[in-house]
């Protein structure tokens, strides 16, 4: 079980890293448009391909987890990424997180503990 938790933690960090770099890159791009110049800028910003590398790494690790562990055990553990995402929003993006979301995180943690048992 410890191996599953460690692998899912790593996978969650990769997944949140992918989404964080994607958020940073779309903020750099400016206003969205269906123009060639927008997409040219998108693909020449280093944060965009880094996001893709993190996402691909996350998927490859998730494939390993799915191969090795029961789906009913592995899939609910993905909720760890919600926790990592919320923490990242505070630390990296300096977002204010209301108490109701922190209560939700506590419920998710309790659910992960129950799934792990």
pLDDT for position 95: 95
Global confidence as pTM: 0.83
Is there a contact between 74 and 66 (Cβ–Cβ < 8 Å)? Answer: yes
pLDDT for position 63: 96
pLDDT along the chain (117 residues), means of 10: 91 96 86 83 86 97 96 88 92 94 90 80
Q: The tokens of 92 are what? A: 């990296």
As a whole number of angstroms, the distance between CA 98 and CA 115 comes to: 26
pLDDT for position 111: 85
Is there a contact between 75 and 21 (Cβ–Cβ < 8 Å)? Answer: no
pLDDT for position 30: 75
Exposure string over 64-89, b if 16+ CB within 10 A, otherwise e: ebeeebeeeebebbebbbbbbebebb
Q: Which of 54, 51, 48, 52 is nearest to 13 (CA)?
A: 54
pLDDT for position 13: 95
């Amino acid at each position: 079980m410890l191996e599953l938790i460690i692998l899912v933690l790593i996978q969650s960090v990769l997944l949140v890293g992918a989404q964080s770099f994607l958020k940073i890159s779309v903020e750099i791009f400016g206003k969205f448009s269906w123009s060639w110049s927008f997409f040219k800028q998108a693909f020449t910003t280093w944060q965009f391909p880094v996001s893709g590398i993190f996402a691909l790494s996350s998927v490859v690790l998730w494939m390993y987890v799915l191969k090795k562990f029961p789906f009913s055990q592995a899939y609910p553990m993905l909720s760890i990424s919600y926790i990592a995402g919320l923490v990242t929003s505070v630390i990296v993006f300096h977002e204010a997180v209301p108490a109701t979301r922190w209560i939700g995180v506590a419920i998710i943690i309790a659910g992960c503990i129950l799934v792990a048992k």
